[in-house]
């Protein structure tokens, strides 16, 4: 039987709808009613059945929208509001630009500049500034949140609304910090982790709390639940250590305090302030991951379908997998804290590019020479990173 059953929702298919309508037509009009494919009645039945099939699909979507594993977009947002959670919002990129122009020319806050091209990224100045000595440098923020605001150096070169006394503008460095809104998949994973650890002063509870911090990209935890002192290179007795990438120090400190067991030491070399419900101030310690540079050399064999920008595509694909800033000045998280760099994954990433028929890959952490083909082990307090200067493709 179609509909909500003990096993879940069973969708009624189009063919079943037509069959049921044919059966009802014979009941209403007689067993000899003409239901051939060219009959007017059959054509009417098929039109109505097609509309009913669409309604069944909507019923199925409505049913599964009540489950974390299937709800999407605003439906998922509405569900998690019940348990006091919200999707991590998109974040605007920021940076700085330098203007040239007439001495003492004032440039107001909110003045717009942008990248060149048919789809420019617009930025606004954060505060007023006055040209002195022919130049003026001021902080800027992207007008729209998201990764697109992370642009390369010397690409913000257009004054959106030209004004007398302002001659040129450029950004000497990349803009950074732009983040897209948390995806449905990432949000579901965070919900499950939070629910599974709710109310428990466990490592999962601490990790879930820290992952809720705005701007946090990754988090790893270690603990020493013995009375043995492993402080040199490790942890003191009965302690734990959070390694966090992104997020504000105090926000991380508060999240640790809110979820840690009483009387257990939070260890690290970075401090964040926390406040208890009664207003008492505490200092929570954690650490930032040590970046481990990953050098990658790639020699390609390609065919005629390899695109003209194929070398850049390969380079960006490797950076996306490992983590770092690509050729388009987009920053990728890549591998998690403590995640090893898997040689075969790098090879597979390159082979996924159209037109690549074979590849020779070498990678290491020293850069001289880059010929190793083994996995690279990353410690729990480290994060693999690479960049356009560390990846070579030929």
* Whether pLDDT at 343 is above 80: yes
Q: What pLDDT sits at residue 201?
A: 66
* Whether pLDDT at 195 is above 70: no
Q: How confident is the model at residue 378 (pLDDT cuts 50, 70, 90)?
A: very high
How many CB atoms are located within 10 Å of the residue 96 CB?
16
Which residue do the tokens 């006091």 mark? Answer: 84
What average pLDDT does this structure show over 3-14?
A: 87
Structure tokens belonging to residue 35: 């239901």
Average predicted confidence (pLDDT) for the chain: 91
* Whether pLDDT at 161 is above 90: yes
- For strand 391-393 and strand 295-302, is the pairing parallel, antiparallel, or unpaired? parallel
What average pLDDT does this structure show over 279-289?
A: 94
Q: Are 365 and 379 in contact (CB under 8 A)?
A: no
* Whether pLDDT at 341 is above 80: yes
Rounded to whole angstroms, how far apart are CA atoms 323 and 335? 6
Across-strand partners of 115? 156
**348-359 pLDDT tens trace:** 999 999 999 999
Q: What pLDDT sits at residue 76?
A: 84
* Whether pLDDT at 292 is above 90: yes
Q: Are 169 and 113 in contact (CB under 8 A)?
A: yes
This prediction's pTM: 0.55
What average pLDDT does this structure show over 38-65?
A: 92
Burial annotation 349-361 (CB, 10 A radius, 16+ → b, else e): bbeebeebeebeb
Structure tokens belonging to residue 101: 């122009």
* Whether pLDDT at 331 is above 90: no
Q: Are 126 and 154 in contact (CB under 8 A)?
A: no
Nearest CA-CA partner of 129 in 151, 115, 110: 110
Q: How confident is the model at residue 7 (pLDDT cuts 50, 70, 90)?
A: confident
**C-alpha distances out from residue 214 to 167, 193, 197, 244, 368, Å:** 38, 17, 19, 12, 39
Q: Residue 347: phi, psi to the nearest 5?
A: -60, -45
**93-143 pLDDT tens trace:** 999 999 999 999 999 999 999 999 999 999 999 999 999 999 999 999 999
């Amino acid at each position: 039987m179609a509909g909500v059953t003990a096993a879940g929702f069973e969708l009624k298919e189009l063919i079943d709808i037509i069959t049921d309508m044919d059966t009802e037509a014979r009941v209403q009009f007689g067993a000899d009613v003409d239901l051939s494919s060219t009959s007017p009645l059959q054509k009417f039945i098929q039109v109505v059945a097609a509309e009913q099939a669409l309604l069944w699909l909507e019923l199925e979507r409505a049913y599964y929208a009540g489950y974390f594993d299937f709800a999407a977009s605003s439906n998922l947002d509405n569900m998690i509001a019940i348990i006091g959670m919200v999707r991590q919002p998109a974040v605007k990129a920021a940076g700085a630009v330098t203007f040239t122009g007439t001495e003492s020319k004032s440039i107001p806050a909110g003045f717009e500049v942008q990248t060149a091209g048919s789809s420019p990224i617009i930025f606004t100045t954060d505060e007023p500034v006055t040209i002195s000595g022919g130049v003026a440098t001021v902080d800027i923020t992207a007008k729209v949140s998201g990764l697109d605001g992370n642009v390369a150096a010397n690409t913000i070169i257009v004054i959106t609304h030209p004004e007398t006394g302002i001659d040129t503008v450029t950004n000497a460095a990349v803009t950074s910090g732009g983040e897209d809104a948390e995806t449905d998949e990432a949000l579901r994973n965070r919900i499950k982790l939070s629910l599974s650890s709710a109310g428990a002063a466990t490592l999962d509870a601490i990790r879930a709390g820290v992952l809720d911090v705005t701007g946090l990209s990754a988090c790893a935890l270690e603990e020493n639940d013995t009375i043995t002192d492993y402080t040199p290179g490790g942890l003191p007795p009965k302690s734990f250590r959070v390694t966090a990438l992104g997020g504000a120090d105090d926000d991380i400190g508060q999240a640790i305090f809110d979820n840690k067991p009483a009387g257990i030491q939070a260890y690290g070399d970075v401090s964040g302030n926390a406040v208890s419900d009664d207003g008492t101030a505490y200092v929570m310690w954690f650490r930032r991951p040590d970046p481990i540079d990953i050098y990658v050399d790639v020699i390609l064999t390609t065919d005629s379908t390899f695109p003209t920008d194929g070398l850049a595509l390969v380079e960006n694909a490797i950076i996306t997998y490992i983590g770092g800033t690509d050729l388009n000045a987009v920053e990728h998280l890549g591998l998690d804290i403590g995640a090893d760099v898997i040689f075969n994954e790098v090879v597979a990433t390159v082979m996924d590019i159209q037109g690549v028929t074979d590849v020779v890959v070498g990678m290491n952490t020293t850069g001289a020479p880059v010929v190793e083909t083994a996995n690279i082990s990353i410690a729990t307090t480290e994060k693999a990173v690479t960049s356009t200067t560390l990846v070579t493709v030929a």
